[in-house]
Amino acid sequence: MKKLCVFPGDGIGPEVMAEGLAVLKTIEQVAGKQMFTTESALLGGSSYDVHGVPMTDQAMALAESSDAVLLGAVGGPKWDALPFAVRPERALLALRKNLGLFANIRPAMVYAPLIDASPLRRELVEGIDIMVLRELTGGIYFGEPRGVSMIDGVETGINTEIYTRPEIERAARMAFELARKRRNHVTSVDKANVLESTELWRKVVSEVHAKEFPDVTLVHMLVDNCAMQLIRWPKQFDVIVTTNLFGDILTDEASMITGSIGMLPSASLGGKVGMYEPIHGSAPDIAGKGLANPLATILSVAMMLKYSFDMPGEAALIDSAVEKVLTGGWRTADIFREGPGVTKVGTVEMGEKVRQAILNSTR
């Protein structure tokens, strides 16, 4: 029996999380046994509203004692005016750091039925399958010194980009290992022509490649060029590995190539406990209206089964069910386009369609 820590989060988080957990129950139904126990806790803005902090010590202890963490989106305009130290997003940074989650992997693939939802032309996006590995616990989000202070009488904001050789080595190794299971190609993204921290990034990635993964093709690319190439010719990419800041930006760009940020899951790995979450935000404007797309959360459950519990068959059941539902023409509002055989559905109905597709495929 595996223990799951569930943080439903803010905004649409609880709605999409409910559908992800229901799909997990369907996987147990297919297996004919209970495999997971769940325990929930508040995180982010909802935690601040009750406890005055975005994450309590008890919530952190729950995550550390679990076998995996499922996370909904956190944050929203309601909490934007809070002091920086207690904003909802600080809970995410603390989770990543305390759990040792140094690698965030985000797949960006285009489902055939959603090609027309992409803002790019069909010939550019058809068949793309990109995996972005974002280094997660180093770089400018964690570097010191940081903050806003008066320097020589001028209000000054400071953030510091820092990377050490071990941090870069472990991210590079995971990227090369991922590529060996895919199409054997890694693009390392940096700004080595301007930033010394990423000059070291390029040097270390090259050394890890030469010493340990010479069978994998390695290409170095400057981040501004990568941002352009993702639009110009996304099919050139297999695995992209990059820094915390660059990865944060590029994965949102890659998500829109697929048609909607509501479609993309993610896995944060590297420590004993993996964390799984959709990459979209809390969307407070549609919270409670049953409009949110639950597929990114459902696909995050599939990633959890694959990476934390070595259940690739069960993960494939979910992936296949999502594709069948999309092929059947079912769409939430964010991916809906008028057309024959296309039906708009809400959050709960989309989850029900996926669960039914799983059951149908096993009969």
Residue 337: which CATH number?
3.40.718.10
For residue 74, what pLDDT is reported?
Answer: 94
Same domain? For 277 and 177 the reply is no
Q: Answer for the pair 306, 139: CB distance below 8 angstroms, yes or no.
A: no
Residue 235 phi/psi, 5-degree rounding, is -70, -15
How many helices and strands (H and E) does the chain possess? 12, 14
Same domain? For 313 and 230 the reply is no
User: What is the domain count for the chain?
Assistant: 2
Same domain? For 265 and 280 the reply is no
For residue 40, what pLDDT is reported?
Answer: 97
For residue 338, what pLDDT is reported?
Answer: 85
Same domain? For 76 and 116 the reply is no
Question: Which bin fits 20, alpha (ψ -120 to 50), beta or left (φ > 0)?
Answer: alpha
2 DSSP β-pair partners: 36
The reported pTM is 0.90
- H-helix or E-strand spanning residue 257: helix 244-257
Residue that is last in its domain, among 242, 269, 296? 269
Q: Which two tokens stand for residue 224?
A: 């501004």
- Alpha-carbon torsion angle 315, 321, 326, 328, nearest 10: 170
Residue from 165, 161, 171, 212 nearest 191 by CA: 161
Residue that is last in its domain, among 227, 251, 269? 269
- Domain interval for residue 62: 1-102+271-363
* Residue numbers annotated as active site: 141, 191, 224, 248, 252
Same domain? For 90 and 142 the reply is no
Same domain? For 206 and 280 the reply is no
Same domain? For 235 and 114 the reply is yes
Same domain? For 54 and 74 the reply is yes
Same domain? For 317 and 254 the reply is no
Residues 6 or more apart from 92 whose CB is under 8 A from it?
44, 71, 74
Q: Which two tokens stand for residue 349?
A: 């109905």
Same domain? For 122 and 261 the reply is yes
189 DSSP β-pair partners: 221, 242
Buried b (16+ CB within 10 A) or exposed e, 282-317: bbbebbeeebbbbbbbbbbbbbbbbbbbebeebbeb
For residue 362, what pLDDT is reported?
Answer: 83
Same domain? For 93 and 123 the reply is no
Task: Please state, in angstroms and rounded to a whole number, the distance separating the CA atoms of residues 241 and 247.
Answer: 8
Residue that is last in its domain, among 269, 300, 325? 269
Same domain? For 97 and 109 the reply is no
Low-confidence ranges of the chain (pLDDT < 50): none
Residues 6 or more apart from 66 whose CB is under 8 A from it?
3, 4, 5, 39, 273
